[in-house]
Structure 1
Amino acid sequence: MQAVRNLFRAPWSSDVKLSDKTAVITGANTGIGKETAIDLSKRGARVILACRDMEKAQAAVKEIAESSGNDDVICMKLDLSDSKSIREFAEAVNKNEPKLNLLINNAGVMVCPYGKTADGFEMQIGVNHMGHFLLTYLLMDLIKRSAPARIVTVSSMAHSWGSINLEDINSEKCYNKNKAYAQSKLANVLFTRSLAKRLEGTGVTAYSLHPGVVQTDLWRHLSGPQQFFMKMARPFTKDSIQGAQTTIYCAVEPSLEKESGGYYSDCAPANCSVAGKNDKLAEKLWQLSCQMLSITWE
């Protein structure tokens, strides 16, 4: 019902300004990440694009600065499939940035063929969950010092078809690219829930969201029948600007200041799956993630 109600609501918009705020956006050289960067730049934020492909990132910096009229846009190298790169990126941010008010965990891979990250994680759980988990952990002290601050993680409605296989999180026994994607997106929702609990009273809040069915580069790994279905569904899908709106809503909407840990869609609170509200599962995933990343995060 929520989805039907949202169809008839006026589009969300806000004139909140972000002068004097700094945002890091992962995967911001394309798609909804880039549109998020343009919007936050227009609001006056300093925006750091955290991207794997520096050539594309530099082109995006130029485009974002031009369309927003804000020159305070830079790009930095970040490969979420490699913990060494994540640590180098976080070290540079912690050293050079006096504050970090917004961390937008946006980058992701979708239904790709089986592959492993530099650290031996299955690619989708590795990039979509583990990479962002480690990044958030490494930037946490700076984010807390910058409070009020927000951490926004882009999940997907695909989380509701997912389950977390704690015994085989890297899908080594059996790999189904759709299930592995759904598992990684459920991990985003559970991470946000656990994170919000740990951040109570710090002035830092956390949100996860479904951007909508968005026409992006992520579709490139879809099978033939899936591609065909997506072409048929195109009139009902969102472009990147529409797809970025819920991310922006979670980043700036004043009424969310006291909310944390929730899941959003179409710029409004939404229902996540039963598994997405399972605090025991969230805690088990948290502990497993810490163990696999060799970190201690109480």
Structure 2
Amino acid sequence: MRWTCQDIPDQSGRVALITGANSGLGLESARALATAGATVLMACRSSRRGEQARQQLLGSARGGLELLPMDLSDLASVTAAAETVRRDYGRLDLLLNNAGVMAPPRTLTRQGFELQFGVNHLAHMALTLQLLPLLRSQPGARVVTVTSGAQYFGRIGFDDLQGERRYDRWAAYSQSKLANVMFALELQEREAAAGGGLRSLAAHPGLARTNLQPTSIASHGSRIEALAYRLMDPLFQSAAQGALPQLYAATAPEAEPGGHYGPDQLGGMRGWPTSCRIAPAALDPAQRQRLWQRSEELLQLQNVPVAA
């Protein structure tokens, strides 16, 4: 199907929160939703870069664009941002868990978690759980968690989640992206069991040009990786095209609860939004529940509210 931003239903009156909204997929998602009339809360770590992005989008926005300071590598910052949303807006219709880090050398979050597991999975889970009461109160609300094709290579290392004994940056990235899908599916299962109308979905962009690739190369200094990206460059699509699956999951009436959407060509590397396969490892309910429970325990150790 050739679904584009022009197919987004009117979003007037709706409030959307997008993490990592100052660049790449998040910026394009903010552009599309604000153009469709939504008030977009642009959750950004850097207020300077966030304001530059906001100014860039103002000319085409029918809805509002507001900055929300949030550092996903610090759970205290995530909790503060969630409180700001509750206090200042009192409603939320769409949460787009978009931001992420990819394949850095082993680095720790403020609370001591491996950066990719901490930012890509734990922080977004913490944010979602704290905003669930607002989302549940809005008809048609959705949570979209952005993953990647790396999910298909991922394995949850329950015996070494933080890579303390052995760290491989790509294995850790794949673990975090698999965790994203597992979280999205488990959230949908729990919401359905509770009889709620909130939809949880997952999406991936295929090969999209964002700041993740140059940041990964710069952080590791790998000539081989740089060469690989140059050779693959013809396969990469724009960030605007890459954002379409998550926008489809966020707004299309036909997007299914628990659905997973990605590009429709070249094995999911590029193209138009379509339903795509889920990593087999994410389809095991016992493993999803185990990850949820372990993640809850880690968040509770940091005094993060997780009551869902």
TM-score, normalising length from structure 2? 0.90
User: Which residue number in structure 2 is paired with residue 282 of structure 1?
Assistant: 288
Q: Deviations over 1:45-98 (max 9, x none)?
A: 0000000000000111111111x2336100110001111101110001011113
Q: C-alpha distance in 2, partners of 1:214/1:251? A: 18
Q: C-alpha distance in 1, partners of 2:124/2:38? A: 22
User: Which residue number in structure 2 is paired with residue 264 of structure 1?
Assistant: 261
Q: How far 1:10 sits from its partner (Å)?
A: 3.2
Q: C-alpha distance in 1, partners of 2:232/2:207? A: 9
2:293 maps to a residue whose letter is Q
Matches within 5 A, 1:1-298: 9-12=1-4, 13-66=6-59, 68-70=60-62, 72-200=64-192, 201-219=195-213, 220-222=215-217, 223-256=222-255, 259-266=256-263, 267-294=273-300, 295-297=305-307
Q: How far 1:126 sits from its partner (Å)?
A: 0.2
Q: Percent identical across equivalent pairs?
A: 35
1:221 maps to a residue whose letter is S
Secondary structure of 2:237 counterpart: coil
Secondary structure of 1:50 counterpart: strand
Q: Give the 3 Å change call, closer, same or farther, for CA 44–71 of structure 1 in structure 2.
A: closer
User: Which residue number in structure 2 is paired with residue 3 of structure 1?
Assistant: none
User: Does the 8 Å CA contact 1:160/1:276 hold for their aligned counterparts?
Assistant: no
Q: C-alpha distance in 1, partners of 2:67/2:112? A: 27
For structure 1, the residue ranges without an aligned partner over 5 or more in a row are 1-8
Q: Deviations over 1:188-231 (max 9, x none)?
A: 00000110011113111011111111111111213321221111
Secondary structure of 2:258 counterpart: coil
* CA RMSD of superposed structures (Å): 1.3
User: Does the 8 Å CA contact 2:15/2:38 hold for their aligned counterparts?
Assistant: yes
Secondary structure of 1:23 counterpart: strand
For structure 2, the residue ranges without an aligned partner over 5 or more in a row are 264-272
Deviates more, 1:69-78 or 1:37-46: 69-78
Secondary structure of 1:81 counterpart: coil
Q: How far 1:278 sits from its partner (Å)?
A: 1.4
Q: C-alpha distance in 1, partners of 2:18/2:261? A: 18
Q: C-alpha distance in 1, partners of 2:38/2:72? A: 24
Q: C-alpha distance in 2, partners of 1:177/1:164? A: 14
2:156 maps to a residue whose letter is I
User: Does the 8 Å CA contact 1:290/1:297 hold for their aligned counterparts?
Assistant: no
Number of residue equivalences: 287
Q: How far 1:276 sits from its partner (Å)?
A: 1.6
Q: How far 1:11 sits from its partner (Å)?
A: 4.6
Secondary structure of 1:255 counterpart: coil
Q: C-alpha distance in 1, partners of 2:279/2:61? A: 40
Q: How far 1:263 sits from its partner (Å)?
A: 1.6
